[in-house]
């Protein structure tokens, strides 16, 4: 089952490690059976509902369904959620029980790491997994937000929700994207309602002074472009 998933992804080297950006927006490190996802923003819908904007209440369900598909197909030994897994501090209280049980089911039997983001609190212990501010393995270092002052080599982060677009034949198509330069990588947001920030914005582009590549999420596969093509 994992063949189409890997075949439609984009493989590249990050600080020496061979990783694959997957079309649904997750990162796969085959050598360590490690899966990383960023910015799930669970219960964003209900947070808006509480302020009177009654968005369809299916975003957490949709997001977790995608995570579950990835876990089933790839069978990772370790899953790292790169922070902002919950949209706000009360999100875990609002999460329907069926969904929190599904998270616990996914987390059991593997090493599940919740990196702390700026939106979310620590998840309830019943969900399993462990909480960390950062996590390092081999040449790669996982954190929520790219650290400008730090050595970029091998840094994998989320936070910025990058997106990028291509103008072609009078139309513009835009999608969430991975942004990387072989040393540093910013993941796209994974949450169903997570919006995006243009990769050309200084906040993102500034992390890559020597230029970068984007891997844009299409419906079925990833599309890779150099920054100059955006």
Partner 1 sequence: MTRSKPGPAPAPALPEPFAGWFAARGWRPHAHQLALVEADREGRSALLIAPTGGGKTLAGFLPSLVALAERPREGLHTLYISPLKALAVDIHRNLEIPVAEMGLAIDAETRTGDTKQSKRQRQRRRPPHILLTTPESLALLLSYADAPAIFRNLRRVVVDELHALTGIKRGDLLALGLARLQRLAPHCRRVGLSATVADEQALLDWISPTGRANDDEVRLVRGRSGAKAEIAILATGAYLPWSGHMALHAIEEVHAAIAGARTALVFVNTRAQAELVFNALWRINEANLPIALHHGSLAPEQRRKVEAAMARGALRAVVATSSLDLGVDWAAVDLVIQVGAPKGASRLIQRIGRSNHRLDEPSRALLVPANRFEVLECRAAVEAIRENELDGDPPRPGGLDVLAQHILGMACEAPFAAEALYAEVTSAAPYRALPRADFDAVLDYVATGGYALRSYERWHRIVPNEDGLYRAASPTVVRRYRMNVGTIVQEPMLRVRLGRGRVLGEVEEYFIQGLLPGDTFIFAGELLRFEGIRDMAAVVSRAKGSGEPKVPAYAGGRLPLTTQLARRVRSLLAEPGRWRSLPGPVREWLEMQRRRSSLPEGDGMLVECFPRNKKEFLVAYSFEGRNAHQTLGMLLTRRMERAGLRPLGFVASDYVIAVWSLRPVRDIDALFDEDMLGDDLEAWMDESSMLKRSFRNVAIIAGLIERHHPGETKTGKQVTFSSDLIYDVLRKHEPSHILLRATRADAASGLTDVGRLAQMLRRIKGRIRVRRLSRVSPLALPAMLDIGKTAVYGQAIDELMDEAATALIEEATAEEPAPELPL
The residues near 82 (Cβ < 8 Å, ≥ 6 apart) are 36, 37, 38, 39, 115, 117, 142, 143, 144, 156, 157, 158, 159, 187
The least CB distance from residue 196 to partner 1, in Å, is 7
Nearer to partner 1, 109 or 218 (CB): 218
Nearer to partner 1, 90 or 110 (CB): 90
The least CB distance from residue 91 to partner 1, in Å, is 13
Q: Give 170's Cβ-side CA count (13 Å radius).
A: 0
45 - beta bridge partners? none
Q: Are strands 184-186 and 78-81 parallel, antiparallel or unpaired?
A: unpaired
The least CB distance from residue 213 to partner 1, in Å, is 12
What the block records as the tokens of 207 is: 């992390």
The least CB distance from residue 154 to partner 1, in Å, is 26
The least CB distance from residue 79 to partner 1, in Å, is 23
Nearer to partner 1, 55 or 131 (CB): 55
Nearer to partner 1, 24 or 76 (CB): 24
Q: Are strands 34-37 and 27-29 parallel, antiparallel or unpaired?
A: antiparallel
- The contact set with partner 1 (CB under 8 A) reads 44, 46, 49-50, 52-59, 61-62, 96, 161, 165-173, 175, 192-198, 201, 203, 216, 218-221, 223-225, 229
Nearer to partner 1, 16 or 96 (CB): 96
């Amino acid at each position: 089952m994992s063949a189409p998933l890997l075949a439609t992804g984009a493989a590249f080297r990050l600080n020496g490690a061979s990783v694959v950006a997957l079309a649904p927006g997750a990162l796969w490190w085959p050598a360590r059976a490690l899966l990383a996802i960023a910015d799930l923003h669970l219960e964003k819908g209900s947070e808006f509902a509480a302020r009177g904007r009654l968005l369809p209440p299916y975003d957490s369900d949709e997001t977790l369904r995608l995570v579950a598909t990835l876990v089933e197909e790839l069978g990772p030994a370790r899953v790292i959620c790169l922070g902002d897994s919950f949209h706000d501090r009360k999100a875990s209280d609002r999460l329907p029980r069926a969904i929190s049980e599904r998270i616990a089911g996914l987390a059991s039997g593997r090493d599940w790491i919740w990196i702390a983001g700026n939106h979310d609190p620590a998840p309830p212990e019943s969900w399993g997994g462990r909480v960390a501010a950062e996590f390092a393995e081999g040449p790669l270092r996982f954190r929520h937000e790219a650290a400008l002052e730090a050595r970029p080599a091998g840094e994998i982060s989320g936070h910025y929700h990058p997106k990028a677009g291509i103008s072609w034949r009078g139309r513009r198509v835009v999608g969430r994207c991975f942004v990387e330069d072989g040393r540093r990588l910013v993941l796209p947001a994974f949450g169903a309602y997570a919006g995006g920030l243009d990769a050309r914005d200084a906040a993102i582009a500034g992390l890559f002074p020597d230029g970068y590549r984007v891997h844009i999420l299409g419906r079925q596969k990833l599309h890779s472009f150099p920054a100059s093509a955006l």
